[in-house]
């Protein structure tokens, strides 16, 4: 982890894990499209049960890294569900028991058809009191990472196991809804039709809609790629793997009612979250929702 040590031990662990995951996913190439499971237990994504080989391999890598460093963690993951790992010999600086929240590979259906867009590998580490220690969203196609430690949020390229061109993330100062690039997940009909009907008043006012979401939505606002991420009925894992990056970059993040986003440790919970680049936009979105 020494290549990433400047950002603290937890962030160094996260960055090493994300770097290795990106490398593994790219090595897999088209071999990762095999369906290894078409059953998903419980209510979580019952309408989308497939697990691809790339999902399973990325999950295995994350678990292996936790065990390698002896991290005591409650794992909350899209593939593994809830899993507790215990160790008597954690690595230096990683002694505290934590929540390890992960979506090891986000973008499976696009990957299945080998459409090289919106392929992410993501994780976040939270203290047991619900405070964020770090988060990282790795872009597998671009080989880049948006991440945060407990103080700030950054972006960088990954090359040869090292960070290149590290910069602090900075949201845009867009001030009017008519100029907004809004991101919200619309790629699956399960989300698209209800969202377009329910939120036409908001969607019809903005300049452009990027139909993606998940953890990448938060880092997209933090980086200035979009101005608002509208997270409608998004799973716990998809929210908390990216939320801290937006917060540490200075974005305004609340529920649809303008309240603090609650840290409920339940992988089956769903969230309605507005992440805006600045307070002006945030208030305009909330005002539109309240009408």
Percent of the chain with pLDDT over 70: 96
| Span 93-122, average pLDDT | 96
pLDDT at 33: 82
User: Got the DSSP string for 226-263?
Assistant: -SEEEEEEEEHHHHHTTHHHHHHTT-EEEETTSPPPP-
Q: Which among 245, 212, 244, 242 has a CA at the least distance from the CA of 230?
A: 212
**Calpha distance 59→154 (Å, rounded):** 24
Confidence at residue 37, expressed as pLDDT on a 0 to 100 scale: 65
User: With 90 as the cut, is the pLDDT of residue 80 above it?
Assistant: no
Instruction: Identify the structural domains of the chain with CATH numbers, from first to last.
Output: 2-168 (3.30.540.10), 177-290 (3.40.190.80)
Over residues 211-260, the pLDDT tens digits come to 999 999 999 999 999 999 999 999 999 999 999 999 999 999 999 999 99
Note the pLDDT of residue 140. 97
Tens digit of pLDDT for each residue in 25-66? Answer: 999 988 888 887 655 454 545 445 678 999 999 999 999 999
Strands 98-106, 132-139: pairing kind: unpaired
pLDDT band for 79, please (50, 70, 90 cuts).
Answer: confident
**Span 137-167, pLDDT tens digits:** 999 999 999 999 999 999 999 999 999 999 9
Residue 186: per-residue pLDDT: 97
- Tell whether the model's pLDDT for residue 289 goes beyond 70: yes
Which is more confidently placed, 3 or 237? Answer: 237
Average pLDDT of the chain? 94
**Amino acid 47: pLDDT:** 43
Q: Beta strand 252-255 with 270-276: parallel, antiparallel or unpaired? A: antiparallel
- Alpha-carbon distance of 52 to 108, in angstroms, equals 7
- Structure confidence at residue 224 (pLDDT): 98
């Amino acid at each position: 982890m020494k290549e990433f040590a400047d950002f603290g031990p937890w962030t160094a662990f996260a960055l090493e894990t994300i770097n290795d995951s990106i490398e593994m996913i790219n090595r897999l190439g088209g071999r990762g499209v095999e369906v290894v499971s078409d059953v998903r237990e419980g209510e979580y994504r019952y309408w989308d049960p497939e697990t691809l080989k790339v999902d399973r391999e990325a999950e295995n890598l994350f678990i292996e890294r936790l065990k390698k460093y002896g991290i005591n963690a409650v794992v909350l993951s899209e593939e593994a569900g809830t899993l507790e790992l215990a160790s008597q010999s954690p690595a230096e600086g990683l002694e505290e028991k934590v929540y390890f929240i992960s979506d090891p590979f986000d973008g499976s259906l696009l990957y299945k058809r080998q459409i090289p867009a919106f392929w992410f590998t993501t994780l976040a580490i939270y203290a047991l009191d619900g405070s964020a220690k770090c988060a990282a969203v790795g872009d597998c196609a671009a080989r880049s990472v948006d991440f945060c430690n407990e103080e700030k949020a950054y972006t960088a390229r990954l090359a040869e196991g090292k960070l290149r061109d590290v910069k602090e993330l900075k949201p845009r100062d867009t001030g009017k809804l008519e100029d907004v690039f809004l991101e919200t997940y619309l790629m699956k009909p399960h989300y698209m039709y209800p969202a377009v009907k329910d939120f036409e008043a908001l969607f019809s006012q903005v300049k452009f809609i990027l139909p993606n979401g998940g953890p990448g939505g938060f880092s997209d606002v933090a980086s200035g790629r979009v101005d608002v991420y509208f997270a409608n009925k998004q799973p716990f894992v998809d929210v908390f793997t990216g939320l801290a990056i937006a917060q540490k970059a200075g974005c305004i993040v609340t529920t649809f009612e303008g309240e603090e986003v609650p840290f409920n440790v339940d992988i089956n919970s769903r969230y309605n979250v507005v992440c805006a680049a600045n307070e002006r936009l945030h208030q305009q979105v909330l005002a539109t929702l309240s009408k």
